[in-house]
Amino acid sequence: MTVYLTLVFALIMSLVTALTESASIQMAKNYRRADMNRAMECVFAEYQKELLEQYDLFGLEAGYETGSYSEENIKNRLAYYGADMDNQIKRIELFTDNHGQAFIREVGKYMKHRYGVSWADQYLGNTSLWKHQEEQAGTFGREETLQKETLESLLKDQEAELPTEENPMAHVGVLKSTPILNLVLPKDKQVSEKRIALSDMPEKRQNQTGYGSFEDVENDGNTLSSVLMGEYVLEHFGAFTEAATGGALDYELEYILGGKESDRENLEAVANRLVMLRFVPNYLYLQSSSAKQAEARALAGTLCTLLAVPAITEAAAQGILLAWAYGESVMDVRTLFSGKKVTATKNDANWQLSLAGFMKLGTEEDGGASSDMEGGNGYKEYLRILLFLEGKETMAVRSMGMIEKNMQTLYGQPGFRMDYCVSRMEVETVCRLRRNVQYQFQTYYGYQ
């Protein structure tokens, strides 16, 4: 009996000892995990302060104001905060990876938190209309080219030419060869001559890249609509009609749309796109206005008096309508650049340009005046349309370029780069516990 009890006692003690050892090791593992979680939270709490304050974005700048990207900086900070173990970064995502998907995701979370998920619904009903207008602009452009070729062919068959004086079709050629800013800028407005080097921008240069897939982690960046991205851009960047902020470029929204190296070139690009955007409703109105069509046919008849060929007269009338619509579009953009409003569609009451006035457009007799239209949209509202048509990936990459330049020039961070900013990361850790027990685990952290 004594031997039996001794054996049972020994087994019980072995079991108790094994359980105690197992619990002790598990507790040590929990401590190491807690150390690592705390260290990760502390490291990501060192987000770039100015980036959050100015642009509402969380980003861990891995350069730590040195101007040089280094993952060793992150490992050293982990060790500093108590995770002094064998840490290897298993996967990491930077803002510029995959055409700015991390940036898009953070913007989406900010916008949905600020405005709510359904905020964009007020614009989503118009997005199909905006797309249709862009497609129509291309169609009408091709129609204009075809109309011109048809008229030239008819005139060639008759071995004749139309007079150039008081000819809107000849005058529109002069207008289109004139720099657009000469036609639409207010007389008292000076254009900024600031420039940047495109080779320094995230869109053009070779960026630092992260590695590893985060497919198993929440990734709702693709659900962000272009409308929400456009609204973020409108909220955080300046435009031509606003006071300059003193950044690398004065016309930040125009850069995001144009992607060119100077304020002047970006403003020209936006002005040309606005002219084409406004051309569609203006031409549609002329096609629906019997009075305007009668004016065009009367002028075409005057230009073609000596020819007496109905086909040429009709082709000339259509050419005049196309030229007239272009001139009205120039007037609309001039209105927008003056800080006034333009309605989405035109009618007899808000049409600005007569045929006689069109012939003065761009000449010394051009008074430069434009009308403010009640119930219309201003310059930034029209930029919202262009931003939506641009697409969120392009907006994201160019927005990051503007943020980077402003961080360097306005907010005292000369070494800041968007491709140094970490959005999320997973670290694989190997540590040794008591009696050389090795423990390996992963720790993930990402900005929410």
Give the CA distances from residue 233 to residues 50, 111, 141, 238, in Å, rounded to whole numbers and listed in that order. Answer: 17, 11, 30, 9
What does the block give as tokens for 359?
A: 């012939």
Neighbouring residues of 29: CB distance < 8 A, sequence distance ≥ 6: 433, 439, 441
**162, 304 in Cβ contact below 8 A?**
yes
Q: Looking at the predicted structure, is the pLDDT value of residue 222 above 60? A: no
Q: Looking at the predicted structure, is the pLDDT value of residue 2 above 80? A: no
- Average pLDDT of the chain, as a whole number: 86
Distance of alpha carbon 65 from alpha carbon 147, whole angstroms: 60
Q: What percent of the chain has pLDDT over 90?
A: 46
Longest dimension (CA), the chain: 136
Question: What mean pLDDT comes out for the span 395-404?
Answer: 95
Neighbouring residues of 112: CB distance < 8 A, sequence distance ≥ 6: 228
Q: Looking at the predicted structure, is the pLDDT value of residue 181 above 70? A: yes
Amino acid residing at 281: P
Please tell me the predicted confidence (pLDDT) of residue 256: 96
Question: What mean pLDDT comes out for the span 379-389?
Answer: 90
Question: What mean pLDDT comes out for the span 122-136?
Answer: 67
**59, 398 in Cβ contact below 8 A?**
no
Amino acid residing at 347: N
What does the block give as tokens for 446?
A: 């990402």
Q: Is 445 helix (H, G, I), strand (E, B) or coil?
A: strand
Least confident of 163-167, 250-254, 412-416: 163-167
Q: Is 147 helix (H, G, I), strand (E, B) or coil?
A: helix
Domain edges within the chain: 2-113+424-446, 120-209+222-400
Please tell me the predicted confidence (pLDDT) of residue 121: 63
**255, 269 in Cβ contact below 8 A?**
no
Task: Enumerate the β-bridge partners of residue 437.
Answer: none
Q: Is 294 helix (H, G, I), strand (E, B) or coil?
A: helix
What does the block give as tokens for 40?
A: 């990760």
Where do we find the tokens 């300046």?
A: 238
Question: Whole-model pTM?
Answer: 0.87
